[in-house]
Amino acid sequence: MTIGILGAGGWGTALACIAADNGHRVILWAREAAVAEAINRNRENITYLPGVSIPSCVEATSEANAVAHADLVVLAIPTQHLRSALQMYRFPITGKLIVNAAKGIERGTHLRISQVLRQVIGVASDDYVVVSGPSHAEEVARGVPTTVVAASSSESAAEIVQRALSTPTFRIYRSLDVVGVELGGALKNVIAIAAGITDGLQMGDNTKAALVTRGLAEIARLGTELGANPVTFSGLSGLGDLFVTCTSRHSRNRLVGERIGRGESLHEILASMKMVAEGIETTVSALELASDYGIEMPIAEQVYCILFEGKDPRAAISELMTRQIKREH
């Protein structure tokens, strides 16, 4: 196959390597011409995925029309920039099988990426697959054993993605629960910021375990209300992704939280980051969605207060610990 990948960040580059290892021709689109030129020249994405050798069958480009003849298109553009990128570059992808690899909820509209694609370019449900799970680009590109899930309303579309991208070190399961897989991948980033805050405050394993467990309860509450299958949240795009994002040194969202716990401001952190931490914007969208549906998300609420209202992290944790006592389930 010829596979087009839109977005040459770390994750897009890692997926380009996976596709190339499977014998596909890969067109990797980068917004910045300098990034594309450097990839073709050095066979390495020094900016976003340094130290990883990129196969020769990966052709980087900044020309939007280069993906016109792709059989399958992977979207690895950050959620908050996807709509503007689709409108600005007018990628020739209508009618193609679209695989989304980003994680987030669009701020303002509260739309999941499948909904954004349907609204902006009319992507049909059966032409859409979301791939999500515990999968840091740095490890995937180096052949560290990884499992993810591909979800689509079309079983055959999910199977095409399984066959196209599964390798001996990158195993893809499939699911029919697009809503659950999209929301699990998006909402876990909010909890990862909270987990990072506890790391920055040098709290212990007990605290981290409590955040992961109760954070998963929040994700499942909102997700189920929005139509997801609750079982999905015990799987790769739920518990699996939540665990790795809350604990890994590769997690940008956890790192944002850690730096806040150490006393840095959000403004300082964002000014120093080249990559995107999706959980910051998703915190806003998640709370607004929760409010619309009357769902309690106390951890997300405290993360919002810390990020955007300057609340002291220790005070936020104290408030969580002294909420009214109740049954667990």
Q: Which of 188, 208, 274, 326 is catalytic?
A: 188
Tokens found for residue 136: 């840091």
Q: Which helix (H) or strand (E) holds 194?
A: helix 178-200
What is the residue-averaged pLDDT of the chain? 96
Q: At what angle do helices 113-121 and 178-200 cross, to 10 degrees?
A: 130
What is the per-residue pLDDT for 273? 84
pTM: 0.94
Tokens found for residue 145: 């054993």
Q: Is 188 a catalytic residue?
A: yes
Asked if residue 139 has pLDDT above 80, the reply is yes
The answer to whether domain 2-176 and domain 179-321 are alike in fold is: no
Q: Are 214 and 207 in contact (CB under 8 A)?
A: no
Asked if residue 329 has pLDDT above 90, the reply is no
What would the pLDDT profile of 6-48 be if each residue is shown by its tens digit?
A: 999 999 999 999 999 999 999 999 999 999 999 999 999 999 9
The residue extents of the domains of the chain are 2-176, 179-321
Interstrand relation of 128-132 and 146-151 (parallel, antiparallel or unpaired): antiparallel
199/313 Cα distance (integer angstroms): 11
Distances (CA, A) of 112 to 40, 68, 291: 33, 25, 17
* % of the chain surpassing 70 pLDDT: 100
211/192 Cα distance (integer angstroms): 9
217/222 Cα distance (integer angstroms): 9
Q: Are 186 and 104 in contact (CB under 8 A)?
A: yes
Give the CATH number of domain 2-176: 3.40.50.720
What is the per-residue pLDDT for 275? 75
Cα 261 to the chain's mean position, in Å?
Answer: 23
Asked if residue 274 has pLDDT above 80, the reply is no
15/12 Cα distance (integer angstroms): 5
Q: Are 193 and 257 in contact (CB under 8 A)?
A: yes
Handedness of CA 165, 250, 210, 80 (dihedral sign): negative
Q: What CATH superfamily is the domain 179-321?
A: N-(1-d-carboxylethyl)-l-norvaline Dehydrogenase; domain 2 (1.10.1040.10)
* % of the chain surpassing 90 pLDDT: 96
Distances (CA, A) of 235 to 226, 239, 262: 18, 6, 32
